Structure 1
Amino acid sequence: MRSILKWALRLIVVLALAIGAVGIWKQEEIKRLWAVRTLFIEEKIVGNFSNMGAAFLSTGVPRGDGPTVDLPYGAETELPASVDAWVKARNVTALVVLKDGQIVFEEYYQGTGADDLRISWSMAKSFLSVLVGQLIEDGTIESLDVPVTQYAPMLKGGAYDGASLRDVLQMSSGVVFDEDYLDQSSDINRMGRVLALGGKMDAFAADLTESFAAPGTQWQYVSIDTHVVGMVVRGATGRPIADLLSERVIAPLGLEHTPYYLTDGVGTAFVLGGLNLSTRDYARFGQMIAQGGHWQGRQIVSEDWIEASTMPSAPTAEGKIGYGYQWWIPVGAAEGEFMARGIYGQYIYIDRRRGVVIATNAADRKFREAGVADANIAIFREIATGL
C-alpha cells in the first residue's frame, strides 16, 4: 500500500510540474490572446494603442543612422471651433496639421504625447503601396498585372489563384473574408487570434478557398488582400518587408523615432495594419506624398506612381468613396485630395492643391457608426480650407 501511495504521490508531483511547465511555456501566448480580447475596451484602448509592442510580437523598422529631418514650425494657427467638439466626440489622441510643409497645429490628448508610437491600423497599407511603386519602377516586380501566384506560389489552388497584383492592391480580389470587427467569429478576428498565438499569416491567407466574384470585377474591402500584396513583395525580393521599408522609405524620411511592425509567429510583418509611428512621423510621410514623392532632394517614389495609386481606379460603387492602390479617395474629392485611413480613427489626410497634410490618431470605439467617417472628412476639409 505504501508503495502505491508513493507512486501516486510521485505521479501527482510529475503532473503538477508538467502543468506548470506548460503554463510557463504558454504564458506569452495566453498574454497575447488576452491582449486581443481586451484591446478595445473603453478603459484600456488609449493606452493599448500607444503600447502595442508590449502585448504582441514585433520587429523594428530601423530609421537608419542619418540625422532627423525636422518638420519646421510655422505660425501657430487657430483651428475652427468645431474641432474641439470633434476631438472629444471622436476620442482623438493626437492631431498634427501641416501647411506647405510646416507644422501649424500640434496637440496631444488623453495623457498621450509626441513620443508615443501609435498603431497605424490600415494606414499601414498606404506605406506598403509606396514600396510596391518602387519595385514596379525598378523592374523587381514585372507589372501590376502579374498573377500573385507568380511571386507567392503557396497561394496556388486557393481563393487567390487567378488574382493579379492590381486586383489585391485595389481590394478587388473577390475573396470571401468577413471584416466585421464586432463579431468574434469573423475572419478578421480569427486572423487577430492567429497573430496573437504566434501562427503564420501566410498559411492563413493560403487556406482561404471561397470567392464571391471573379478577380477585378467587384470591390470589397478585405484586409487580407494587403497581406497578399506583402507576400508578393517578399517573394519578388526575397527580403522581409521591415527591412525593405526601412531601407527604401523610412530611413530616407529622417524620422524622429524608430517605428516597429507587429509580426506573426515567424516574424512576418503585419503589413495590413501593424505599423507603429509617432503622429508627427505619420505627418512627415504624408508630406512626402504631398510633395509628389520628393523629400530632401531625393525622389523616394515617382510622382507618376503617387498619381496612379491615389486615383479612384478600383471598381467601387458609383457615388461611394473611391479606392486606388491602398489609398482612399473621398466622395466629391478635388484633384489631389486623398487619404490613408485606419480603424478607430487613424488618418493621414492630404490635400495637395492646398498644401495641407493632417495626421490624426484616435481611439474611437464608435468609428463604424453611420455618419462618423463623413464627419471626419468634413472636419479635415474645414481645417484645410481655413488655412
Structure 2
Amino acid sequence: MRRKTPITAALLAAISCLLGAAALAGEIAAQPTPEIPWPTKSWIVSSPEEQGMDSAMLARLIENVGGYKQDSVMIIRHGRIVAEAYYAPYVAGISHDLRSVTKSVVSTLTAIEIQHGLLDSVDHPVLDLFGDKNVANVDDNKRAMTVQTLLDMTSGLAWQERAYTPDETIMRMYKSPDRTKFVLDQPMSGAPGSSFYYNSGNPYVLSALITKTTGLSAFDFAKKELFGALGITSAKWGSVDAQGVTDGEAGLFLSPHDMARIGYLYLHNGVWEGKQIIPSAWVERAQEGKIAASFGFHYANLWWSLPEKGAYMARGRHSQLILVLPKLDIVAVMTGVLRDDEFYSASRFIDDITMAVKSDQPLPPDPIAKALLDAAIRRAATEQPIAIAGIPELAKEISGKTFQLGDNALHAKSFSLNFYDTDSSWVITTSTESPGRPTQRFAGLMGLDGTFRKSPPAPYGINACRGRWLNQHTFFLERRILGHGEIQTWTLAFDGGKVNVEFQNTDGAKFELHGEMQD
C-alpha cells in the first residue's frame, strides 16, 4: 500500500474540509429564517445570555446609568427585552415626557405621508405647500426651502434657541397667535441646505403640514396610522394650537415600552408585521446621517446618528433616548430628568451596550452574572434616601399655616406645609387668569425621611415629593411629577411671619418669591 505524501494528504484534507463546509452551508441555507417577534401586544422577555449578551456587564451598565438622574433604561436584542430598570421614584408603565424625541416621531409621520402619497416629495418647496399664508421676508432662499431641509435642520431660517430665554425665537414662537406663520415669517440667515442649525420651528411646520395634508392633527394622525399599527397605547400629546396644530417639536409622552416600539420599527427598515409603514429609504437616510451636526453627531430626517459607531437615535432634553444599533440587532431606551449641564454620554452608552454583546448565538447560562443583574435592577427600584437632620420647633409654628405670596412669574398665590408624623403634605394655589376659575389648587404628600412620598394619581400625573430642614429656619422641598422631565426645588427661608422662596427647575428657570403668613 502506497503511503500518501504530505502534499497529497494536505490536498485530501482540504477537499474534505471544503466538502464538509459545503455540506454545512447547504444545511444552514436549508434552515428557515427565524421569525421576527413583533411586540404589538407585548414584549418578550429573555435572559441576556440567551441573546448572546453578558448579564454582568449589563448589571454594570445599569449601575452606571443609576449614577445620574435617570428614570429608566431598557435593552432589547433580537426582539426581546434582556434588561430593564426603573429608578425610584419612577416606576414602569408611566408615560414619559420625550421632549425632542417628539421631533423624530413627527419625522416618522412625515414618512407615512410619503408612503401614502399624501405628500408627493420631500423636495417640494415649503412655501408652495402653505400658499394660504401671507408669508413675510420672502426671497430666493426662502423660495428654495424644501421639506427635506426642514427635516435636516438646514432650512436656513434665522433662529435662536439655546437658553430658552423670553427673547429667543422659540419662546416668541409660543407666544405668537399663529405659530406656523411665525416660523415661516422669519428672515433667512443663509441658503437652505448649506448649514446645520437646530431649529424647533422646523418640526412645528412639519406638524402643520400633516394637518394640512390629512385634515387631522399630528396626534390624531399618529393614533390612526402609527400608534395603532405598532400597539402603542400610552401616548399623550398636549393640546393643539389656535390653528389645530399639534406641537411638533416637543410635548409627546410615551412609556419606555412604547418608545422602544418606535425604535423597533426603524430597526426593521420601516416594516411592521409584514407591512411597510414608512419607506425603507427614509430609515436608511436617518441611519446614514449625511448632515454634519454638533458635538460630533450627524443628522438627517430629524434623527441623530454616530455612523462610526453604527448607531442612530432620537434624542430629547434631559436625557430622553431611543437608540438603534442595526448591526447588533439592538434597540435601547433611556429616560431621565438630567439638567442641561448634566448628561449621560450617548457614546458611552453605546460602548457599554456593545461590550456586553459577546455572540450572535446563545451563551451558556451564568447564574452568578444573572444574579448580579437582578440585584442591580432591584437596587435601581429601591430609593436611596438623602441625609436628614431632624425637625426644628419652627415646624410646629408654621404647620398648616397659609402663606400668601406676592405677584410672581410662577403665578403662585399661596402655599402651606403640614408637618405630621405621618402623611406630611404641601398645598400650592396658582392663578389661572381665568374669570370663571381664578385659582387652581395643587396638593400632595411629602416624605420627611429622606425619600419621596407619592401622592394618589391626579389628572396631570403622580406627584412625588420629599423635604428636609437645612437649618433652623430653612426648609427645602423637592417636587417631581413622575414621567415629566423636570425636577422642581423650593427653598423656603422663614423669618418671623415672612418667607423668602427660591424656586428652580431642571429647565433652568429661577425665580424668587416673597410672602407673609396669614392670620
TM-score by length of 1: 0.73
Give distance in 2, aligned partners of 1:149 and 1:117.
36
| TM-aligned CA distance change 1:185 to 1:268, over 3 Å | same
User: Does residue 140 in structure 1 map to residue 140 in structure 2?
Assistant: no
Whether contact under 8 Å (2:286, 2:305) holds in the other structure is no
Give distance in 2, aligned partners of 1:110 and 1:213.
47
Give distance in 2, aligned partners of 1:325 and 1:176.
20
Gaps of 5+ in 1: 1-66
The residue aligned with 1:360 is 334
Give distance in 1, aligned partners of 2:251 and 2:201.
13
Q: Is the partner of 1:380 in helix, strand or coil?
A: helix
The residue aligned with 2:316 is 342
Whether contact under 8 Å (1:217, 1:315) holds in the other structure is no
Deviations 1:262-295 (A, max 9, x none): 4334542111111111111101111121112222
1:103 to 81, 87, 101: 81
The residue identity in structure 2 corresponding to 1:254 is G
User: Does residue 385 in structure 1 map to residue 355 in structure 2?
Assistant: yes
The residue aligned with 2:263 is 286
Give distance in 1, aligned partners of 2:235 and 2:297.
33
Deviations 1:19-60 (A, max 9, x none): xxxxxxxxxxxxxxxxxxxxxxxxxxxxxxxxxxxxxxxxxx
Greater displacement, 286-295 / 257-266: 257-266
The residue identity in structure 1 corresponding to 2:349 is I
Quick check: which one's strand share is greater?
Answer: 2
The residue aligned with 1:20 is none
Give distance in 2, aligned partners of 1:329 and 1:349.
9
Whether contact under 8 Å (2:161, 2:169) holds in the other structure is yes
- What's the C-alpha RMSD, in Å, of the aligned pairs? 2.4
Whether contact under 8 Å (2:135, 2:181) holds in the other structure is no
Deviations 1:85-126 (A, max 9, x none): 33322x111111111111111111131122211111111111
The residue identity in structure 2 corresponding to 1:284 is R
The residue aligned with 1:26 is none
Q: Is the partner of 2:127 in helix, strand or coil?
A: helix
Structure 1 position 316, deviation (Å):
4.0
The residue identity in structure 2 corresponding to 1:178 is Q
Give distance in 1, aligned partners of 2:253 and 2:208.
20
TM-score by length of 2: 0.55
| TM-aligned CA distance change 1:158 to 1:243, over 3 Å | farther
Q: Is the partner of 1:247 in helix, strand or coil?
A: helix
Quick check: which one's helix share is greater?
Answer: 1
Q: Is the partner of 2:315 in helix, strand or coil?
A: strand
Whether contact under 8 Å (2:217, 2:240) holds in the other structure is no
The residue identity in structure 2 corresponding to 1:365 is R
Deviations 1:288-347 (A, max 9, x none): 211122222322223222112332122547x9310011110126232xx20000111110
Whether contact under 8 Å (2:72, 2:86) holds in the other structure is yes
The residue aligned with 2:43 is 71
Q: Is the partner of 1:310 in helix, strand or coil?
A: helix
Q: Is the partner of 1:107 in helix, strand or coil?
A: strand
User: Does residue 277 in structure 1 map to residue 254 in structure 2?
Assistant: yes
Identity %: 23
Q: Is the partner of 1:220 in helix, strand or coil?
A: coil
Q: Is the partner of 1:260 in helix, strand or coil?
A: coil
Whether contact under 8 Å (1:155, 1:206) holds in the other structure is no
Larger radius of gyration: 2
* Residues 1-387 of structure 1 mapped to structure 2, 5 A cutoff: 69-75=41-47, 77-78=55-56, 79-89=58-68, 91-153=69-131, 154=133, 156-158=135-137, 160-192=142-174, 199-208=177-186, 210-314=187-291, 316=293, 320-330=296-306, 332-334=308-310, 337-366=311-340, 368=341, 372=343, 375-387=345-357
The residue aligned with 2:477 is none
Structure 1 position 82, deviation (Å):
4.8
Give distance in 1, aligned partners of 2:264 and 2:42.
12
Gaps of 5+ in 2: 1-38, 49-54, 358-519
Give distance in 2, aligned partners of 1:355 and 1:128.
24
Deviations 1:140-166 (A, max 9, x none): 212111111122222633465431111
Whether contact under 8 Å (1:347, 1:359) holds in the other structure is yes
User: Relative CO higher for 1 or 2, CA cutoff 8 Å, sep ≥ 6?
Assistant: 1
Whether contact under 8 Å (2:286, 2:304) holds in the other structure is no
Greater displacement, 355-364 / 133-142: 133-142
Whether contact under 8 Å (2:235, 2:254) holds in the other structure is yes
Q: Is the partner of 2:296 in helix, strand or coil?
A: coil
Whether contact under 8 Å (1:348, 1:357) holds in the other structure is yes
Whether contact under 8 Å (2:73, 2:334) holds in the other structure is yes
The residue identity in structure 2 corresponding to 1:188 is I
